[in-house]
Structure 1
Amino acid sequence: MRKTFMGVRLRRLREERGLTQLALAKALEISPSYLNQLENNQRPLTVPVLLKINSAFGIDVQMFSDDDEARLIADLRDALSEVGPGGPVSLAEIRELATAMPAVGKALVGLHRRNRQMLERTEAMLSTLGDDKRAFTALAPPMPYEEVRDFFYGKGNHIPELDEAAERLYAEAGLAPGQVAAGLSAYLGRRHDVRIEFTEGEGTPKRRFDPRSRVIRLSPFLRPGQVAFQLATQIAFLEQRPVIDAVTAAAPLSSDEARNLARLGLAHYFAGALILPYGRFLAEAERLRYDIERLATRFGVGFETVCHRLSTLQRPAARGVPFFLIRVDRAGNISKRQSATDFHFSRVGGTCPLWNVYEAFSTPGKVLTQAARMPDGRAYLWIARTVSRNNGGFGTPAKTFAVALGCDIAHAGRLVYSKGLDLSDPDAAVPIGAGCKVCERAHCAQRAFPPIGRPIAVDENTSRPAPYSVA
């Protein structure tokens, strides 16, 4: 047993029993000075003393367990990771709290869990309110990235001033599909006297610009399409700063962090629009019936980049198919979601396991299609595939995500992915939902939680819970 200091817990035990130090020392058959040292963490708690505590008071020694402390530390790290502007709490401070004041630590964990539950319930209620939800946003202020996502959603995921500027620059720089990286490198040197260097080292970022030396340093692991995207992002900051700042200033964002995220998002939007210019890309997408892999080959970019661009083609005079995009990892964490339409992505309790975006992990690199129907009766066509990135050598874990692109079933005939699907049969669509905690499908075999506000009605005459019902 390693040295374990449990002074506060020992002192709490004495106070709960209404004992003096002298009385407790006598009960444990140790000297008062030794007990005083134990309570002040000057001496570690030993196994013989623990056994005497159990014998004298019938106390479960788990109260003094290292395992219990480790669990509390893990719970506290989770709870205190969301402390806000005060910054993260160090592990040393958390460990001290768990060791010295476990009751306070458990109270904090309990408060955090109740707060999470209330936020989930609030989000579930907001998801049913539509436009009336503005009056309730003070109950659950969004995170900065959620504010930025909602800002792009409010714009229909289309920023016309950046799209138009990107098309003009594409023509001015004499760029061509599949050769954008070389063209942008030459443009940066000619227009901004900027050089490109590829550097490798521990923790090397994808892109770093040194304004003094006029050098952009890129990771050597980037593919040509990624190089083009990083160079285009830097051009956005060099040339489109006034537009980006103006759009950000007009956005209803509540914090500097959200505004900084919005600026980066707008720079990325410009980069995508520059390497995949609106008119040329839309024409190819229509000609190829939105075949994502053929578009990726045609323009020399990746599958995910094409999906991103397809979700932004909403110019009033030349609209593409209105898509929505989502990116998830194996654990179900949603790292990207954007929509040009009113499709609802749940913020509560994950998404639906019947969605083909999760099935994609079992067939890496293969495009999966799915006709799916939501509880409100609306049907959608979904395309999903995994994307992987490995920027290191042997033994370095790769990043793997599943990317899904969806559209209303009314547009499915324009897509090559509608081949072989019976879009006219409503029963052929897979019934999915936005997430168990907001989904109303009572008899779903994959349900993990009851809908919020609808407890389980247990039927004692069957071997399983009865369908979820309104109390």
Structure 2
Amino acid sequence: MSAAKLFLGHRLRRLRRDHDLSQTDMAASLGVSPSYLNHLERNQRPVTAALLLKLAERYDVDMRAFAAGGGQGVGADELAEIFSDSLLQDLGVPRYELAELANNAPSVADAIVRLYAALKEAGREGGVAAGGDARALVTPENWVRDYIQAHRNHYPRLEEAAETLGGALSDPLSMAEPMRRRLKDAWGVSARVVSQAELGNLSQLYDRERRLFLLSSQLRAENRTFGLAYQLALLEFAPLLERMVADAAPPDEGIAQLLHMHLANYAAGAIMMPYGRFLAACEDMRYSIDRLCGEFGANVEQVAHRFTTLGRPGQRGVPFFMLRVDPAGNVSKRYAGDQFPFSRFGGTCPRWNLHAAFQAAGQVVTQLIETPDGQRFFTVARTIERPIKTELGGGLLAVGLGCHIEHAHKLHCADGYDLERAPVTPVGPACAICPRLDCGYRATPPQGRMLAVDRTKKTISPYPFVAS
């Protein structure tokens, strides 16, 4: 650390913004003057080792990741994906400029991403009528996803409340019955399982007037339990959920409702799998999903999702990322717990065997992958069934989980792997921003690179290009 000066002004600004602190407040917490912090944020002073230690202590940051410039928020890869669009590609914006923008003006980078997402949605919806509100182009899904990522998919206040309630309701046989009794005794709500015909196209319904909570008979057992936890969270944590939604200041009522539902879903998982007990079980069972499903009466997706929320300061779990896709490649869940190069506006790299899970239904598919920057990740993919049974049958989805290779030794499913010598599959982000030269799976040429097509030759990659 003494050999190279660390100028991390952009990281300090983002950290301060994430904690909603003024320069004066952060300076006081670090024991430095506001003017010195201002110099640090403007890269006029290097960050010292002593200050890094204080940041780690006060804000629970990973010193190595912080010093390397990693972290949350919009990055150069995400901006590069946007600038690879045909609308902007002719500008030839170099990557170093995108990196400077992401690092030095993170709010502007966030705004560009939001505008581009709105533009893409406008194209799908046919645009906005003259005089319409452009905010309508910000889709609820994108807004809530950005909120989730900004909070690293971890909400301390919800965790504390859910851990207290979940601990009180824990039962070695099943949490469903204690939750049903809690609904009845504390809230006067009766929970019943009814035929799907009675619910129409709903899987669950809370009837306020009759104080009835109805669950479809076609829901799988674990999803009924989750439904009870969800309804309990809505009632038990109503003031907290309302405050959190109000603090988030969503742009319209539809987005507010979706965020409220997301937070209640999060709380439901935290009630079923209380933080301290779940983390202890994860470490004891070495993150064996099947064993954890049995221990907590949950299903594969619920446990996988819970993995991505284990970010409590001082009690962190393995930092997983997670995706959920359908057979057509549509991504319906995307949680980046580790620094994995997700494509925000596209699908996944075809060389990552997430989709191979559909050809091995019910089996665990593992793979070691390497991103273009040389980082290696251990990944697991498997199919799951949709929450509710239908007459159409099938309906499989695939869940992909992964973590940095440095954590892989903690995982049961990595036993038997020689993590140093096992074959590694090179993967990348979206093709338009992937720098890999010889990839036979490439679907589009990379942004900002000159093609190297020679009509007298045919290459493995359909779009050979000149390496920069």
TM-score, shorter chain, exceeding 0.5 = yes
- For the 8 Å contact 1:349–1:436, the answer to whether it is kept is no
- For the 8 Å contact 1:178–1:299, the answer to whether it is kept is no
1:121-147: CA deviations, max 9, x gaps?
Answer: 999989855444531424424532122
Give secondary structure in 2 for the equivalent of 1:250: helix
Call closer, same or farther: CA 1:306–1:244 in 2, change over 3 Å.
same
> 1:119 offset after TM fit, Å?
8.4
Matched, 1:399 2:395: yes
> 1:390 offset after TM fit, Å?
7.1
- For the 8 Å contact 1:330–1:361, the answer to whether it is kept is yes
- For the 8 Å contact 2:357–2:381, the answer to whether it is kept is yes
Give secondary structure in 1 for the equivalent of 2:465: coil
Residues matched between the structures, number: 355
**Other-structure match for 1:286:** 283
**Other-structure match for 2:406:** 410
- For the 8 Å contact 2:326–2:397, the answer to whether it is kept is yes
Call closer, same or farther: CA 1:352–1:466 in 2, change over 3 Å.
closer
- For the 8 Å contact 2:304–2:322, the answer to whether it is kept is yes
**Other-structure match for 2:271:** 274
- Residue identity matched to 2:269: G
- Residue identity matched to 1:377: G
Aligned equivalents of 1:418, 1:291: Cα separation in 2: 10
**Other-structure match for 1:449:** 444
Aligned equivalents of 1:383, 1:121: Cα separation in 2: 39
Call closer, same or farther: CA 1:382–1:169 in 2, change over 3 Å.
same
Aligned equivalents of 1:183, 1:127: Cα separation in 2: 53
Aligned equivalents of 1:153, 1:119: Cα separation in 2: 26
> 1:177 offset after TM fit, Å?
4.3
Give secondary structure in 1 for the equivalent of 2:341: coil
Call closer, same or farther: CA 1:147–1:300 in 2, change over 3 Å.
same
Matched, 1:237 2:234: yes
- Residue identity matched to 1:365: G
**Other-structure match for 2:295:** 298
1:356-383: CA deviations, max 9, x gaps?
Answer: 2111111001011111100111111111
Give secondary structure in 2 for the equivalent of 1:384: strand
- Structure 2 portions without partners, runs of 5+: 1-83, 119-137
> 1:297 offset after TM fit, Å?
1.5
Call closer, same or farther: CA 1:252–1:341 in 2, change over 3 Å.
farther
Higher relative contact order (CA 8 A, sep 6+): 2
- Residue identity matched to 2:220: R
Aligned equivalents of 1:435, 1:253: Cα separation in 2: 29
**Other-structure match for 1:439:** 434
Matched, 1:146 2:142: yes
> 1:120 offset after TM fit, Å?
9.5
- The structure whose Rg is larger is 1
- For the 8 Å contact 2:320–2:337, the answer to whether it is kept is yes
**Other-structure match for 1:135:** 108
1:73-131: CA deviations, max 9, x gaps?
Answer: xxxxxxxxxxxxxxxxxxxxxxxxxxxxxxxxxxxxxxxxxx98548999998985544
- Residue identity matched to 1:185: R
- Residue identity matched to 1:188: L
Structure-2-length-normalised TM-score: 0.70
Which of 457, 460, 464 is the equivalent residue of 1:462? 457
**Other-structure match for 2:323:** 326
Aligned equivalents of 2:276, 2:350: Cα separation in 1: 37
1:140-183: CA deviations, max 9, x gaps?
Answer: 2453212211211111211111111111112333x224501111
Give secondary structure in 2 for the equivalent of 1:437: helix
Aligned equivalents of 1:254, 1:416: Cα separation in 2: 43
- Residue identity matched to 1:191: A
**Other-structure match for 1:54:** none
**Other-structure match for 2:378:** 381
Matched, 1:250 2:250: no
